[in-house]
Structure 1
Amino acid sequence: MRKGYLAIVLHAHLPFVRHPEHSFALEERWLYEAITECYIPLIWAFEALVNDGVRFRLTLSLSPPLLSMLTDEFLRQRYLHHLHKLLELTDKETWRTAGTPFFPLAQMYQARFRRVRDTFNAYGGNLIAAFKKFQEAGCLEIITTAATHGYLPLLFVNPQAVAAQIAVAVKLYRRHFGHNPPGFWLPECAYTPGIDAYLKKHGIRYFFVDTHGLLFGSHRPRFGVFAPVFCPTGVAAFGRDVESSKQVWSAKEGYPGDFDYREYYRDIGYDLDLEYIRDYIHPDGIRINTGLKYYRITGKTEHKEPYVPEWAREKAATHAGNFMFNREHQIRYLSRFMDRPPLIVAPYDAELFGHWWFEGPQWLEFLVRKITYDQEIIELVTPSDYLRRHPCNQVVTPCPSSWGNKGYHEVWLCGANDWIYRHLHWGADRMVELANRFPESSGMLRRALNQAARELLLAQSSDWPFIMATGTMVEYAVRRFQTHMANFIGIYRQITENRVEDGWIEELESHNNIFPEIDYRVFTKD
């Protein structure tokens, strides 16, 4: 038996963005870029491992908004159009760069995007089927998160809002995967005591917290973050390991900042002549990332050297070996003081791999291969694997915490976004009122009640206050929040005044079509 465990957890999430009213929606590109640069390259890595007979165990969280967008036929067709334009651009680039140092890179992108297209079509445009295949093969453990990634501690003013976020997520997961999720990614790793009771109601066995959420728990955990604890409810909490996180997360101290890796912030969408690139950016001439990036990080300088894929691939292999080496030493040291094999939990945003860190999927594949064949200390496991092997764990109540800046709730409750919460709390109270007032309904009334629930859930997304706090795309985040709250208020008034407008409800159903099987009664007060 190996001396310790490593649990790598990838959290894949994007806010629900769907704008059929616009022929070109800038924010929809978040999804298209993630599919092209992250989700499909991760599928390539998993396929390569499976095809070579490499056994591995990883944990993947797929958020309900992401599941909804990946199965939306309208967004699938728009993605194919986006991919067609990318391929058209790479064809132009192979001509433009001929005879220059960038020609091999243009050819690389041309081949890469063709492969993306082929993979997308091979799964019939259904990437969830790909991830499900790896789960059924015993390689992935897929878990869920809150319905619209709501920041649960700040919604807990009305506990039914938290209950609804969890219940809707579990129902959607069950629809796609045929069983309840074994685990739950708390949005932003944000915890406050009591949330676990709602997870327990749905048979969820575990969740994740940030390091201090466990270390400052009551009572203090004997093994720190290197073993899970049970909350008094019996739901397990796993804590994040700081060292393994920093090596991958940090742009300054971590691997992604290596000078041989691709430079994210130099894209031909900004570098090339506007007339040449106009058909591949925003129709209004707003420059955006195209995904074609020809430079490596080079150093802390404005001068950038051409990207060399072979150098980057070699660095990814080296860094995978270094990560494994460091985890081996951690485990050797920790095993001297523990009565069980230590567990290192390494959670990351999935979009880091491939989108922000272009070589991330390669690094992950190298790491899995090295752990499988090049050492005898570490075993890759999922949280469920650990709990099956070690069912007896200390009882601890984690402390309120998140993995945001400074470790608590400041990012999602600050001067830039605090104004939203009085509206969210009012909306939750009104939705509970409607659910209890109409325990039975049918026809257009039922559809209106279900749409009210959708609009409120969409307003509760943690993405909007996060964007407001960070100062990027603030106007869009404010507009999305205000639009969903206005829709909710309008539906609430129509229902309570017995004047539901069929046409408007149908329009909202078509536009904000997340959770087609939602039942508004998830907001019914216990």
Structure 2
Amino acid sequence: MSEPIGTFCLVLHSHLPWLAHHGSWPVGEEWLYQAWAHSYLPVVDLLRRFADEGRQDVLTLGVTPVLAAQLDDPYCLRGVHDWLGNWQLRAQYAGIRWQHGDPALRELAANEHRTAESALTTFETQWRHGFSPMLRRLVDADVIELLGGPATHPFQPLLDPRVRDFALRTGLADTELRLGRRPAGIWAPECGYAPGMEAGYAAAGVRRFMVDGPSLRGDTAAARTLGDSDVVCFGRDLEVTYRVWSPKAGYPGHADYRDFHTYDHPSGLKPSRVTGKHIEPDDKLPYDPARAAVAVHHHAKDFVDTVVQRLQGLPPRSLVVAAYDTELFGHWWHEGPLWLEAVLRALPEAGVRVTTLRGALDAGHLGPPVDLPASSWGSGKDWRSWDGEQVADLVAAGADLQRDLLSIVDTFGPLPDPAADQLVREALLALSSDWAFMVTKDSAADYARRRAKVHGERFGELSELLRLGHHDRAARRANELSAEDYLFGRLDARGLSA
């Protein structure tokens, strides 16, 4: 076999902020179950097929601990099973409604029913015990490299160092509990970085993490150690990544792909193709899977050509890293899983080594040390999405909460279980980066503010009870709250003690 022209790493980050018991359509459990059915099931099925073929180091997968907890939770497992059954019924209903109409809609209903039936069978035979058993098999067989992360996906630069360290260690411990091994790499939430954070990573056993390309001034052709540490950062290659998904364009917006936003409301199905950027929903044309398949083939070839051209324009033996949210593939972009498989099969045929971040290091893709600026992968590549004027109140509330939390710990020392554990759990949930991001981007902003407020108020309630010495009442209330979320297999508030 000839020497590869270069190395490509695909990094997927699995994360949704929606929690069970925290709302229904269009957010909350409904979006969790949509992503489960349309992204997690087909992506895992793809990886299982690669495993059966003996493929290794296919991609790097980050799973936020709070999402892993939901995908293992009995309540959520029952909920998505019901949702999949309801999907079948909705497809059957659509077939009845459309039986005398457009032939394309009749075929769409039939195809939707077949897809729902297949998803239900897959879930009942493969997912009965949750996500972790399947994920563990893929990790143990080296099909994927797993990235962990802080427990609830906080924007780490805005955390007090003690809270930041606790959130990270809690997340790593939760992943170790579920999979039997502690991740050596993490997906840094929002690729958020502040100078010096690598010291905390090293202390927690983190050896590699993701940043966005501009923080490396676009020099992403090799991994880099940070300062005088041994911690390695990998940067997204935006020239390649943005071919798929960018703030302005990307493959999913093609006219022949399924339109995410246009619903047949009686059935809840999505019967239209994008058709055009400025076409009203009622004027969009029916979705045609055959046309979409042609677009998938074209865009997979375009992406492979883009990777090859990028590597040929870089020094020999260079590295390209593309990174996306897992939910893009299937949930937001219906054809995404088909495109993903086509690309992962075509790149090696084009002479490109496909591997994981760990595999890239093993292949020698390590450049000289670098110092990084404060950065993220958000707007402006700075922190404005999480600490801007629109969310100044959330930032102030988060800072106050952290001071209160550390004050309680420093004043009272290790507190009685389970009140202290639930106190910290509510604090971590209130500090999730998603709330500020959703407000800044005006994406379900009311929901985000409500979630931040709910967890902040729960924290305040437990905090007051503990300060007043009402430990029995605090414990009872903590038990009530923990029964609603079922999060984190391992969370010990004593780890916050000074």
Global fold match (TM > 0.5): yes
> Cα distance 1:253–1:459, how it changes in 2: closer, same or farther (>3 A)?
closer
Contact 1:180 1:202 in 2 (8 A): no
Provide the C-alpha distance between the structure 1 equivalents of 2:288 and 2:340, rounded to a whole number of angstroms: 19
Out of 192, 195, 212, the position equivalent to 1:193 is 195
Q: How far apart in 2 are the matches of 1:331 and 1:319? A: 18
Out of 476, 480, 484, the residue aligned to residue 503 of structure 1 is 476
Matching residue of 2:285: 305
Taking the aligned partners of 2:51 and 2:302, their CA distance within structure 1 comes to 24
Structure-2 change in CA distance of 1:16 and 1:522 (3 Å): farther
Partner amino acid, structure 1, of 2:58: R
Give the aligned residue type for 1:115. Answer: S
1:398 and 1:24 map into 2 onto residues whose CA distance is: 40
**One-letter amino acid of the structure 1 residue matched with residue 68 of structure 2:** L
Q: What residue in structure 2 maps to residue 236 of structure 1?
A: 232
Do the aligned residues in 2 keep the contact of 1:182 with 1:384 (CA within 8 Å)? no
Correspondence 1:108 to 2:92: no
Work out whether 1:37 is the aligned partner of 2:11. Answer: no
1:381-425 Cα distance to aligned partner (Å, 9 max, x none): 111112223275311121111111111111112232111222222
Q: Which residue of 2 aligns with 1:332?
A: 312
Q: Which residue of 1 aligns with 2:433?
A: 462
Map of 1:141 onto structure 2: 145
- Which residue of the partner structure matches residue 322 of structure 1? 302
Q: Separation in 2 of the partners of 1:266 and 1:259?
A: 13
Q: Distance in 2 between matches of 1:254 and 1:160?
A: 40
1:294 maps to 2:271: yes
Is there any run of 5+ residues in structure 2 with no aligned partner, and where?
Answer: none
Which residue of structure 2 aligns with residue 272 of structure 1? none
Q: Letter of the 1:148 partner, please give it.
A: T
Deviations 1:349-402 (A, max 9, x none): 111111111111101100111123x222x1011111122232753111211111
Q: CA deviation at 1:4?
A: 0.8
Cα distance, 1:461 vs structure 2:
0.3
3-state SS in 1 of match to 2:390: coil
**How do residues 3-152 of structure 1 correspond to structure 2 at under 5 angstroms?**
3-19=5-21, 26-99=27-100, 100-101=102-103, 102-123=105-126, 124-152=128-156
- Out of 359, 362, 375, the residue aligned to residue 388 of structure 1 is 362
Q: Does 1:348 align with 2:351?
A: no
> Which residue number corresponds to residue 268 of structure 1?
264
Q: Report the secondary structure of 1:418's partner residue.
A: helix
In the TM superposition, 1:412-427 aligns within 5 A as 412-427=386-401
Deviations 1:444-481 (A, max 9, x none): x2211111100100000011111111223222222211
Q: Give a deviation string over 1:80-120, Cα, whole Å, max 9, x none.
A: 22222211111111222224321111011101011111111
388 and 524 in structure 1: CA distance in 2 versus 1, 3 angstrom threshold: farther
C-alpha change, 1:26 and 1:306, in structure 2 (3 Å) is same
Alpha carbons 1:55, 1:139 under 8 Å: kept: yes
Q: How many residues align?
A: 487
Q: Secondary structure at the match of 1:346?
A: strand
Preserved CA contact (<8 Å) 2:156 2:192: yes
- Aligned residues: CA RMSD: 2.0
Match of 2:376 in 1: 402
Q: Does structure 1 residue 446 correspond to structure 2 residue 425?
A: no
Shift of 1:77: 1.1
Q: Percent identity?
A: 29
CA contact (8 A) 1:5 1:379 kept: yes
The answer as to 2:481 corresponding to 1:481 is no
1:248 to 234, 237, 244: 244
Partner of 1:226: 221
Mapped contact 2:150–2:171 kept (Cα < 8 A): yes
Deviations for 1:317-366, whole angstroms, at most 9, x for unmatched residues?
Answer: 22112111111111122135xxxx11101011111111111111101100
The residue matched to 1:345 in structure 2 has which SS? Answer: strand
TM-score (norm 1): 0.88
1:225 maps to amino acid: T
Q: Tell me, yes or no, if the aligned pair for 1:213 and 1:398 is still in contact at 8 Å.
A: yes
Q: Distance in 1 between matches of 2:417 and 2:248?
A: 53
State the 1:56 CA deviation.
5.0
- Of the structure 1 ranges 28-37 and 306-315, higher mean CA displacement relative to structure 2 is found in 306-315
Q: 1:104 corresponds to which letter in structure 2?
A: E
Q: Secondary structure at the match of 2:137?
A: helix
CA contact (8 A) 2:319 2:365 kept: no
Give secondary structure in 1 for the equivalent of 2:401. Answer: helix
Larger mean Cα displacement after TM superposition, 252-261 or 395-404? 252-261
User: Which residue type is aligned with residue 234 of structure 1?
Assistant: D
2:222 counterpart SS class: coil
Which one-letter code corresponds to 1:462 in the other structure?
A: S
Structure 1 residues 54, 317: closer, same or farther in 2, change over 3 A? farther
Report if aligned partners of 1:153, 1:192 keep a CA contact under 8 Å in 2.
yes
Runs (5+) with no aligned partner, structure 1: 217-223, 270-276, 281-289
Deviates more, 1:226-235 or 1:422-431: 422-431
Is the 1:56–1:368 contact (alpha carbons within 8 Å) kept by the matching residues of 2? no
CA contact (8 A) 1:191 1:401 kept: yes
When structure 1 is superposed on structure 2, of 67-76 and 310-319 the one drifting more is 310-319
Find the aligned partners of 1:45 and 1:513 in 2 and give their Cα distance: 29
User: Are residues 506 and 53 of structure 1, via their aligned partners in 2, closer, same or farther at CA, if it must alter by over 3 Å?
Assistant: closer
**Amino acid aligned to 1:111:** R
After superposing the two structures, state which structure 1 stretch, 72-81 or 59-68, moved more.
72-81
Aligned-residue offset at 1:299: 2.2
**Structure-2 residue corresponding to 1:518:** 491
Q: TM-score, normalised by structure 2?
A: 0.93
Residue-by-residue CA offset, 1:474-517 (whole Å, 9 max, x unaligned) = 22222211121111122122112111214322211212332242
Cα 1:90–1:353 shift into 2, 3 Å:
same
